[in-house]
Structure 1
Amino acid sequence: MTAPATIRPRRSVLYMPGSNARALDKARTLDVDALILDLEDAVAPDAKETGREQIREALAQGGYGHREVVIRINGLSTPWGAADLDMAIGARPDAILLPKVSSPADLERVAHKLNAARVPGSVRLWAMMETPLAMLNAAAIAAAAANPETRLSCFVMGTNDLAKETRAALVPGRAPMRPWLMTCVAAARAYGIDIVDGVYNTLDDEAGFAAECREGAEMGMDGKTLIHPKQVAPCNAAFTPAEADIAWARRIIAEFEKPENGSKGAIQVEGRMVERLHAEMGARLVAIADAIASRNA
């Protein structure tokens, strides 16, 4: 049983404003899986150019280690989007995050520019899912990942914008949001891409944040976007596979790999009936656990 070789943890994904040079420097020391260097919501209009140049300089300097570095650009229809994309093309981050994605065409326009500039395929596209149309078109947007030239590898839930545009309340438990969150999880899983949950806005509500992390993990999210470094440790804990689950997954995989079980679809392990699909699920869990252990080594 093997999981995809390119698997990587995306438990904690921290937004850092591109206009804050100190934050860009501090990001090199944080225990996060991924960083979103932001040029959109976190940067005022009069600071867009400064943010663009500071992100360019930060990536040229490097030093981000294992952290996946993503640049969130402004939409191409805004006054800043084209310059943002040109900078990102030259900076070669791990991924470019496109806001307000509402159809596959939004991704295709950016991918076309990347491909025309001969940007390596290792530079991926992430999609902000934050509009009513994105919720209605989630499957079609995720299906863009089937075309390697589109580069789509991750959905990022933009729950604040989604709440604003739908007028749905952001309440504990997120009942109004759950149908859309699960729709996007299903779309992401159908086409083999990752998905990370939206941010939690109240920094001093540790219990509420922990509860929402657990909810996201239970929904099947790969991780959560964050707005402050203090959220990193509890987020990593919530999305790290439990030791007991890892051990059980390894046991199931080992049993199915025995020659006598090679052709069986279901076997008994420690008095429990397990199917081959459980071994396949376990392979991904083990791969994530191994990737986290390797990162921490």
Structure 2
Amino acid sequence: MSEYTPRRSVLYMPGSNARALEKAKTLPVDALILDLEDAVGPDDKPAAREAACAAVASGEYGDRELTIRVNGIGTQWHDADIAAASAAGPAGIVVPKVNTADEVRGLVAAMESAGAPEHTKLWAMIETPAAIFTIREIAQASDRLAVFVMGTNDLVKELQADHVPGRGPLMTSLSWALLAAREAGIAVLDGVYNAVKDIEGFTAECEQGRDMGFDGKTLIHPGQVEVCNSTFAPSEDAVAEAKGILAAWEEGAGTGVVTHNGKMIENLHVEIARRVLSTHEAILARS
């Protein structure tokens, strides 16, 4: 089992907004995406790049995992973004609209050429039908690829679908990405929820993502952090159940039949219980 890194709440913050970058130092998020792409106008991109890299180098964000989202492959800012972000050495470099395994390998080569330290991983955004159809190859293209980030707004646009409760139009894409990520042993983050004042709808979508198996969710507003952290953390009941299963398993070792609360316990239940407890402990350590 790979070591669990809490990524329950992953908040986009515009790299060009000094107040937002300062506020982010106080937010209880697991990770930040310092954005050089959608949230930054063309004239502000060089300054945003400099500010995001300075934030990474500052050491003022505690245990929050810091990443930088660069502008997309083929844009006029992409190469300079990759070079600067690699030199700054964040936890991850987030790249929009990654569509093929060859693009992953090219991005990794560019990061290594620019001197990215070993801890700086590639986070690939999955946002198009092309990416979904090649998702398995993308997931396995490089050991440096650590996280899939679902770009659900772009997927809805590309599918010519609508944002609807339950996300029926997206379920195939989300499921394929989850399958590929789990096979490759990488993390996968659910997409954003646009209606920042709709707490009920946001909570329901967090619960759906958690139940599907996502590691966490990307966010666009600080007001979404608390619900997200709570939803993607094991509940008190789940932690108690996991401890009970492990205790029963240890007590019944060698007997051939182990039960807990009237249910048969097998190796798979033990593995799930261990994952729940390792997740819980990692979150406590982060807190």
1:184-243 deviation digits (Å, cap 9, x = unpaired): 111111111111111010111111111111111111111110000000001111111111
Q: 1:81 maps to which residue?
A: 78
Aligned partner letter, 2:186: I
Q: 1:284 maps to which residue?
A: 275
Contact 2:87 2:114 in 1 (8 A): no
1:156 aligns with 2:149: yes
Q: Residue 261 of structure 1 is aligned with which of 253, 260, 265?
A: 253
Contact 1:14 1:32 in 2 (8 A): yes
1:105-155 deviation digits (Å, cap 9, x = unpaired): 1111111122234432211111101011111111111122xx43xx11111
Say what the alpha-carbon RMSD is for the aligned residues: 1.5
Aligned partner letter, 2:48: G
SS of the residue corresponding to residue 165 of structure 1 reads: helix
Structure of greater relative contact order (alpha carbons < 8 Å, 6+ residues apart): 1
Displacement after TM superposition at 1:295 (Å): 1.3
Displacement after TM superposition at 1:103 (Å): 0.8
Displacement after TM superposition at 1:60 (Å): 2.1
SS of the residue corresponding to residue 31 of structure 1 reads: coil
Q: TM-score normalised to the size of structure 2? A: 0.96
How far apart are the structure 1 equivalents of 2:102 and 2:247? 44
The residue correspondences of 1:74-223 to structure 2 (distance < 5 A) are 74-144=71-141, 147-148=142-143, 151-223=144-216
How far apart are the structure 2 equivalents of 1:193 and 1:67? 19
How far apart are the structure 2 equivalents of 1:206 and 1:251? 33
- Number of aligned pairs? 287
1:26 aligns with 2:18: no
Q: Residue 45 of structure 1 is aligned with which of 25, 42, 46?
A: 42
Aligned partner letter, 2:268: L
Aligned partner letter, 1:107: V
Contact 1:213 1:235 in 2 (8 A): yes
1:236-273 deviation digits (Å, cap 9, x = unpaired): 11111111111111222233344x52595x62223211
Contact 1:74 1:80 in 2 (8 A): yes
Displacement after TM superposition at 1:61 (Å): 1.8
Change (3 A) 1:66 1:157: same
Q: TM-score normalised to the size of structure 1? A: 0.93
Return 5+ residue gaps in structure 2 as ranges.
none
SS of the residue corresponding to residue 169 of structure 2 reads: coil
Contact 2:249 2:265 in 1 (8 A): no
Aligned partner letter, 1:55: A
SS of the residue corresponding to residue 176 of structure 1 reads: helix
How far apart are the structure 1 equivalents of 2:25 and 2:182? 31
Q: 1:229 maps to which residue?
A: 222
Misfit runs of 4+, over 4 Å: none
Q: 2:51 maps to which residue?
A: 54
How far apart are the structure 1 equivalents of 2:18 and 2:102? 33
Identity %: 49
Return 5+ residue gaps in structure 1 as ranges.
none
How far apart are the structure 1 equivalents of 2:61 and 2:250? 38
Q: 2:14 maps to which residue?
A: 17
